[in-house]
């Protein structure tokens, strides 16, 4: 992990709480690690570990990792269509995880994957694309990670696909 990123889960929490409770954001300077541009995923879970929201970008959409995290925290909490938007009463029950992506690299074979180390991007010539972060519970083999990613994107796992892999710096909120 890179120094400076440990604050990102707190930034995600603060941003969602500020949005839902109509209060100002905590002041954080986009210095050092927070100043670089990268894709980011913000994952929100409830205290029992169930997924509550996850949204992200493969390539940076905003000026730095700090802003990317803020925007995606709100998107994960309020706009993940798999879930109802987070309500203020639920805030105390949530935990935040931020994954900062390294640049994806093309690969030619699934033999070049390790699901504990690499995330996977699968895409087709027709424009379908899906991504799975590394080290996802239950996706501990290359085949499971690949098939789950294809299913997520509505991609035929037996069809012609293109593959990319990437690593992440993962920052998990400390239990309070």
**Listed residues 44, 78, 101: the one ending a domain:** 101
How far is residue 7's CA from residue 4's CA, in Å, rounded to a whole number? 7
Look up the pTM and report it.
0.92
Same domain? 112 vs 97: no
Looking at residue 103, what is its pLDDT?
95
How far is residue 152's CA from residue 135's CA, in Å, rounded to a whole number? 16
Same domain? 59 vs 79: yes
Same domain? 28 vs 79: yes
- Better pLDDT: 65 or 2: 65
Contact 118, 166 (CB under 8 A): yes
Summarised one tens digit per residue, pLDDT across range 96-132 is 999 999 999 999 999 999 999 999 999 999 999 999 9
Same domain? 95 vs 145: no
Looking at residue 97, what is its pLDDT?
97
Looking at residue 1, what is its pLDDT?
42
Same domain? 82 vs 127: no
- Other C-beta atoms closer than 10 Å to the C-beta of 160 total 8
Looking at residue 174, what is its pLDDT?
79
* C-alpha to C-alpha distances, 147 to 2, 10, 108, 111, nearest whole angstrom: 31, 33, 16, 14
Mean pLDDT of 151-157: 95
Determine which helix (DSSP H) or strand (DSSP E) holds 162, and give its type and residue range: strand 162-166
Q: How confident is the model at residue 176 (pLDDT cuts 50, 70, 90)?
A: low
Looking at residue 89, what is its pLDDT?
97
Same domain? 95 vs 14: yes
Which 8-state DSSP code applies to residue 25? P
Say if strands 94-101 and 119-123 run parallel, antiparallel, or are unpaired. Answer: unpaired
Tell me if 176 is assigned to some domain: no
Mean pLDDT of 133-162: 95
Same domain? 78 vs 117: no
**Does the pLDDT of residue 2 top 60, yes or no?**
no
- Phi and psi torsions of 100, nearest 5°: -100, 120
Handedness of CA 155, 159, 164, 167 (dihedral sign): positive
Looking at residue 3, what is its pLDDT?
61
Same domain? 144 vs 118: yes
Same domain? 9 vs 88: yes
Query: What's the CATH code of the domain at 64?
Result: 3.30.700.20
What are 19's two structure tokens?
């949005």
Domain extent, residue 56, equals: 5-101
Tell me if 29 is assigned to some domain: yes
User: In the sheet where 105-107 sits, what is the strand order?
Assistant: 105-107, 162-166, 119-123, 129-132
Summarised one tens digit per residue, pLDDT across range 10-66 is 999 999 999 999 999 999 999 999 999 999 999 999 999 999 999 999 999 999 999
């Amino acid at each position: 992990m890179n120094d400076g990123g440990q604050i990102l889960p707190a930034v995600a929490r603060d941003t969602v709480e500020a949005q839902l409770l109509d209060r100002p954001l905590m002041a954080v300077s986009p210095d050092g690690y927070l100043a670089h541009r990268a894709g980011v995923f913000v994952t929100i879970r409830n205290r029992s570990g169930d997924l509550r929201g996850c949204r992200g970008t493969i390539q940076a959409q905003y000026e730095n990792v700090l802003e990317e995290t803020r925007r995606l925290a709100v998107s994960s909490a309020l706009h993940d269509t798999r879930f109802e938007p987070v309500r203020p009463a639920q805030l105390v029950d949530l935990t935040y995880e931020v994954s900062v992506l390294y640049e994806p690299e093309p690969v030619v074979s699934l033999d070049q994957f390790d699901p504990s180390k690499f995330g996977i991007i699968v895409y087709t010539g027709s424009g379908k694309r899906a991504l799975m972060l590394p080290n996802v519970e239950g996706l501990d083999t290359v085949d499971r990670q690949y098939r789950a990613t294809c299913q997520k994107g509505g991609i035929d796992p037996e069809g012609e696909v293109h593959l990319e892999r990437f690593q992440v710096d993962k920052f998990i909120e400390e239990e309070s």
